[in-house]
């Protein structure tokens, strides 16, 4: 038996994207609940930034921002979340940290974690792009 866990907020992003793209009217209530939960889970750091952290703060923040933006929740919260991602970007490599995006527990009890800096960076860039695109008049 294989028990698998996705990065927190990862499943919400495709659900919210399907809602945003249309044709899935039945997702409205679910998308709103997901967005409400994500807004409630925001972590303020005291320095004017907000992020989400379920063990992979850069990836969790990117997925959380995308979910909020996909559900039409652009707000000061998403702007300071985007500012957090900008602050956290490695200035030399222009990337974000390699973070766990998938975990599995094998039959023998061993835990296997898949990490990928490219995935974290891609999701962070998409979140920043979406936030910037929505922010423009």
Specify the DSSP element, H or E, that contains 118. Answer: helix 117-135
Residue 12 in this model has a pLDDT that exceeds 60: yes
Q: Answer positive or negative: Cα dihedral of 61, 17, 9, 93.
A: negative
- Amino acid 136: pLDDT: 62
Residue 4 in this model has a pLDDT that exceeds 50: no
33: tokens are 């609940």
What's the whole-model pTM score? 0.85
For residue 85, give Cα distances in angstroms to 14, 35, 69, 73, 127. 20, 19, 15, 18, 9
Nearest to 96 by CA among 39, 57, 65: 57
1: tokens are 């038996």
């Amino acid at each position: 038996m294989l028990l698998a866990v996705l990065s927190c907020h990862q499943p919400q992003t495709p659900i919210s994207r399907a809602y945003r793209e249309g044709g899935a009217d039945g997702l409205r209530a679910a998308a709103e609940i997901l967005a409400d939960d994500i807004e409630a889970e925001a972590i303020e750091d005291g320095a004017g930034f907000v992020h989400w952290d379920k063990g992979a703060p850069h990836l969790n923040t990117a997925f959380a921002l995308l979910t909020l933006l996909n559900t039409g929740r652009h707000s000061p919260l998403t702007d300071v979340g985007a500012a957090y991602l900008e602050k956290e970007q490695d200035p030399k490599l222009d990337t974000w940290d390699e973070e766990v995006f998938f975990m599995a527990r094998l039959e023998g009890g061993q835990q296997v974690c898949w990490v990928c800096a490219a995935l974290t960076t891609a999701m962070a860039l998409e979140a920043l792009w979406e936030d910037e695109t929505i922010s423009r008049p």
